[in-house]
Structures are given as C-alpha cells and as structure tokens.
Amino acid sequence: MIFLHFKPAWFLVALLLAVPALCAADEKAAAEQEIKSVKSRIETVQTRIKSAQNEIENMLIELRRYETSAAEVNAALRLIDADIDAGQDRLALLNGEVDQLGEDLRREKELLSEQVRAMHRTGRNDYLKLLLNQEDPARFGRTLAYHDYYTRARTDRIATIGHSQERIRALRETARVETEGLVSLRAGKEAKLAELTGHRKARQQLLARSRRFIDDQDRQLQVLLNTERELETLINRLSRSEYIFEREAPFASLKGKLQWPVHGKIITRYGELKKGGKLKSRGITFASAAGTEVHAIGSGTVVYADWFRNLGLLLILDHGDGYMSLYGYNEVLLKQTGDRVGRNNPIARAGDTGGQPRPGLYFEIRRGGNPLNPSLWCRS
C-alpha cells in the first residue's frame, strides 16, 4: 500500500523532468523554422536582385538598339538632305538654262522676222527689177550679194532656232526627271523622319520605364559603378592597341591651348559629385543643342566609335603618348574606328544617347587610363 501511495509522486517528478526537454525541442524546431524562413527571404531577395539586374541589362540592350537605329536614320537623313540640295541646285541651273534659251529663241525669231521683212522690202523688188531691165550690172551684183547674205542668215537663224528648241525640250525632260527624283527623295525623307519619330517615342517610353525602375540611389550608384569599371577596362584595352600616325605636335605641349570640343554651358565640372552624391565626375558635361557639331580637341586616331553603357554613342581618340579624349552622349558619330582626324575636325554631333534626359556632350581627357581635369587643357 505504501508503494501505491508514492506512485503518483514519481510520475509527477518524471513529468517535471520532461518539460524542459520538450521546451528545448520546441525552441529548436522554432529556430529551425526561423532559419528556413530567413533563408527563403534571402533567396527571394537574391532572386529579385538578379531579376532587377537582368531587367536593367535588357533595358540597356533595348536602349542601345533604339539609339543606334536613330543614329543610322540621322545619318541617312543627312545624305538625303545633301542629295535634295544637290538636286535643287541642278534643277535651278536647268531652269535657268531653259529661261536663257527661251530668251535667245525669242530674239532669234524676232531677227528672223526682221530679215524676212527686209528682204521683202528691198531685196526682192530690186532683184526682180534688175533681172528684167539689167540696166545697172553693178547694182544687180550688189543686190544679188545682199539677197544671198539674207538667205544664208535666214537659213542659219532657222537652224539655230531648231537647235534651241531641241535643247529646250531636252532640258525640260531632264528637269522633269530631276523633279521626279526630288519628289522621291522627299518621300524617302518623310519615311525616314517617321521612322526616327518611332525610335524616339520608343526610347522615351523605355527611359520612363527605366527611370521608374532605377529610382533609388543604391541602384543608380551601382549603374554608375558598373559604367566606370567597364570604361576603365575599355580604356586599358585601347591603351595597349598600336596606332601609328603623324602628329602635329606632342599632345602634352598643347596643355592649356586646346579649344573645347563643343559650344555649350558646362553643367557638370570635373570632380563634382554626380547624382546621389557618392561618385565624382571624371569629365565635363556640356548642355548643347541636339545636332551641334563636336570637334576633336587634337589630332589623333579613332580607336572606339560605338554605343557604350550610360555614355550612348561614344567616340574615343588616341592622341599618342598615352593621351586619349572621350566624347559621349552623341546623336551620331561622323567617324569610324581607324579614321585619322585633325585638330578641330568635326567628329560627331551632340545628342542625348545613353538615356540622358537632355542633349549635350560628355567629355574626358585621360592619360594612361587616368582621368585629367579638362579645364587645365582647354580654354574658351
């Protein structure tokens, strides 16, 4: 009976001893669940980051396609405009020649009419009289000579009139063909302008979407850092390339004597903090009207002429001795890789490629890949 009396007590003790173990097991399970939850959140964030990076890359690919296509259309439009100008000049010359020939023809017809009237007034009557009476042989000879002169002159003028009429007909036909060519060129220009408008509209829609996407400063900073890394890699690779060319003078000797590559207000200076306030500008940004000519600051060889992340249509000149100059944001590039250019030669036209909100030019000078202050090299 005593044993039976103490049995509930032993059971209570065992139960109390088991409680901490059960609590520990619950805590472990909860901790493991929390770890799984954290890992899941981390994976979700990583997936979002990767998705964001892919989205940015896809946007850049689209932006490059729109901006390079627009540059090609701009180049085609310049050629069409040149052809139209030349065609209008040719047409003006043709019309001028037709007008002049028309005036000459009118005068020839008047002279021919006058000759005919003169022959009827004098030569014909005297000629008939002299043939009939033959009283004055000398006068007969003179009249005959005059008659022959008028006849030849009339024949010549009739031939001249015929040639002029033929020439006028030929010129008018040429002018008609030239006019049809101009109509075709203008239609082609309208089609190209419509295509350019389409590229610009698609670009603006893409930029609006990308700006909403890259709205926080951390993403902007990452984009800028990626751009600088890629640009440094490109510069280092180009620095190892060998381009042989003749120079006007060592580039270093031109420090402080160079002209700015474009006319416009400086909106970002060398060393200023970029948007977000974490990175300094390695060059100078000008605000310039779209299409403004961009000039080479010195003679050199084009070592890069293509679209580049954030800088749009970019052209890089190698000036020798490790010196290079960079020109970004261009609407169109006028030179190709390998071209030789002289000091102050036009090399591009300012624009807003690279996703810039307004047209202008981004400009750098580097030596050995290291950025230099352009204000110490160029003057107004």
Whichever domain contains 167, its CATH number is 1.10.287
The pairing of beta strand 323-333 with beta strand 346-350: antiparallel
**Burial label, 216 (beta-carbon count in 10 A; 0-12, 13-18, 19+):** exposed
Helix, strand, coil percentages, rounded to 5, for the chain? 65, 15, 20
Residue 118 and residue 265 share a domain: no
Residue where a domain terminates, one of 170, 198, 213:
213
Q: Which residue segment(s) compose the domain that 232 sits in?
A: 217-379
* Whether residue 122 is found in the same domain as residue 108: yes
Q: What is the pLDDT along the chain (380 residues), one digit of tens a residue?
A: 434 444 555 555 555 555 555 555 554 454 445 445 544 544 554 455 455 556 666 666 777 776 777 777 778 778 878 877 887 787 787 777 777 767 776 776 676 677 666 666 654 555 555 555 555 555 555 555 555 665 666 666 666 666 666 776 776 777 777 778 777 877 777 877 777 777 777 777 766 666 665 555 455 555 556 666 667 777 666 665 555 455 567 899 999 999 999 999 999 999 998 765 667 889 999 999 999 999 999 999 998 898 888 888 999 999 988 899 999 999 999 999 889 999 999 999 999 988 888 999 999 999 988 999 999 999 86
33 inside domain: no
Together in a domain, 201 and 242? no
The candidate with the shortest Cα–Cα distance to 371, out of 270, 274, 277, is 270
Specify whether 243 is located in the same domain as 366: yes
- Tell me how many degrees the CA angle 119-122-128 measures, rounded to the nearest 5: 95
Dist. CA 120–CA 222, nearest whole Å: 100
For residues 182 and 264, membership in a common domain is answered with no
DSSP at 355: T
Q: Is residue 355 part of a domain?
A: yes
Helix/strand/coil for 256: coil
Please tell me whether residues 250 and 354 are part of one structural domain. Answer: yes
Q: How many domains does the chain have?
A: 2
CA distances (Å), 332 to each of 62, 68, 295, 318, in order?
Answer: 17, 8, 13, 19
CATH number at residue 301: 2.70.70.10
> 84 by DSSP, 3-state: which?
helix
Token pair in block for residue 234: 């490109």
Q: How far apart are CA 179 and CA 91, in angstroms?
A: 7
Nearest to 309 by CA among 291, 290, 283, 328: 328
Within its chain, how far is the Cα of 10 from the centroid? 93
- Find tokens 């030669």 and name the residue: 345
**Contact between 312 and 67 (Cβ < 8 Å):** yes
Beta bridge partners of 339: none
185 & 227 share domain: no
Q: 237 and 192, same structural domain?
A: no
Give dist(CA 142, CA 138) in Å, integer: 6
Strands 312-320 and 323-333: antiparallel
> Regarding beta strands 378-379 and 258-259, do their DSSP bridges make them parallel or antiparallel, or are they unpaired?
parallel
233 within domain boundaries: yes
Both 206 and 221 in one domain: the answer is no
Q: Which residue(s) pair with 312 in the sheet?
A: 308
Is residue 264 included in any domain, yes or no?
Answer: yes
Q: Does some domain include residue 51?
A: no
